[in-house]
Amino acid sequence: MQAEERQKRIEEYLQQVEFASLEELAEQVEASVSTVRRDVGLLETGGSVRRTHGGARLVNPRTDEFVFNARDTHQLAEKEVIGRLCADLVLPGQTVIIDAGTTAFHVARYLEPKKPQIITNSLPVANLFASAMMVETIVTGGVLYPRLGVLVGPVAVETLGQMHADVAIMGAGGITGDGVFNSHALLIDIQRAMMRAARKVILCLDHTKFGRRTVARLCDLAEIDVLVTDAPVGPEIAPALDAAGIEVTHPRPDPSESPLPETR
């Protein structure tokens, strides 16, 4: 392979992973570590890449990761668990509506192998699938709500009104015996449209949301088909869930940590 081609491939690979060890790069471009080291040195002179001990890193790391990552850190582990669990409920090739919000986002991360058709109003979710060739993604239009990366407004609701899906994967701010709640009133219309458009509604909530009631009421418990969560539900809402006929899914309390495939 030509030196310039090799260098370009190194740069391209780094744009995907942001950081890589020399050994990793050497394997990628099928050259020795020495050669890669020299190449990275040249690229560094060019300014696009910076050398580090044992590897190289992109100077301008991709900025496309999302704002809400800060908020994302809350209950991260729980949301990962919920994400895996909920993705298991989706059958290959199904049409899936994905709500905005961090919990639904983590479900989306595990959805790619199912080759689903995605409908979403969440920019982060759309970004997730922007490079996935096997997933058809439909984005609702709408006004972009700053910080959250959610598309809102009548256009979004209208677009969803024309869609039909197998499953809607929803997040929420809280749940009590009286219903499901969300903290952003202006998302309510859209979430209701999502639930109307789907045959089956899956609500994903971590255990901290149990018994919590926030400003805006989203829907009755009866409209939820499945609740996916990370811990067994407490006695304060379990009867209400039962009465509403909601199927509850949570990881079996196995102390030996079921060894599911890791994040990437």
* Structure token digits, residue 26: 């050497």
Site for DNA in 120-149 (CB under 7 A): none
| Segment contacting DNA by CB under 7 A, of 38-46, 116-124, 133-141, 145-153 | 38-46
Outline where 154-262 has alpha helix (H): 154-161, 188-197, 238-243
| Segment contacting DNA by CB under 7 A, of 16-24, 63-71, 206-214, 244-252 | 16-24
* Structure token digits, residue 133: 């060739």
Give φ, ψ of 168 to 5 degrees: -115, 130
Q: Which residues contact 125 (CB under 8 A, 6 or more apart)?
A: 98, 100, 104, 105, 108, 118
Q: Exposed/middle/buried for 243, CB within 10 Å: 0-12, 13-18, 19+?
A: exposed
Residue 17 identity (one-letter amino acid): V
* Structure token digits, residue 64: 């496309």
Choice from 10, 14, 22, 197 touching DNA (CB under 7 A): 22
Examine residue 58 and tell whether it contacts DNA (CB under 7 A). no
Examine residue 51 and tell whether it contacts DNA (CB under 7 A). yes
Choice from 147, 161, 199, 236 touching its own copies (CB under 8 A): 147
Q: How far is CA 11 from the centre of its chain?
A: 27
Choice from 18, 27, 34, 46 touching DNA (CB under 7 A): 34
Examine residue 52 and tell whether it contacts its own copies (CB under 8 A). yes
DSSP label at residue 122: B
Examine residue 126 and tell whether it contacts its own copies (CB under 8 A). yes
Partners of residue 235 on adjacent β-strands: none
Examine residue 62 and tell whether it contacts its own copies (CB under 8 A). yes
Comparing CB distances to DNA, the nearer of 25 and 157 is 25
Choice from 10, 14, 25, 31 touching DNA (CB under 7 A): 31
Examine residue 159 and tell whether it contacts its own copies (CB under 8 A). yes
Q: Taking a C-beta distance cutoff of 8 angstroms, is the pair 195, 219 a contact?
A: yes
CA angle 249, 250, 254 (to 5 degrees): 140
Binding site for its own copies (CB under 8 A): 2-5, 8, 11-12, 15-16, 18-21, 46, 48, 52-55, 57-58, 60, 62-64, 66-67, 69-72, 123-124, 126-127, 129-133, 136-144, 146-147, 149, 151, 155-156, 159, 264
Binding site for DNA (CB under 7 A): 3, 6, 21-23, 31-35, 37-39, 41, 51-55
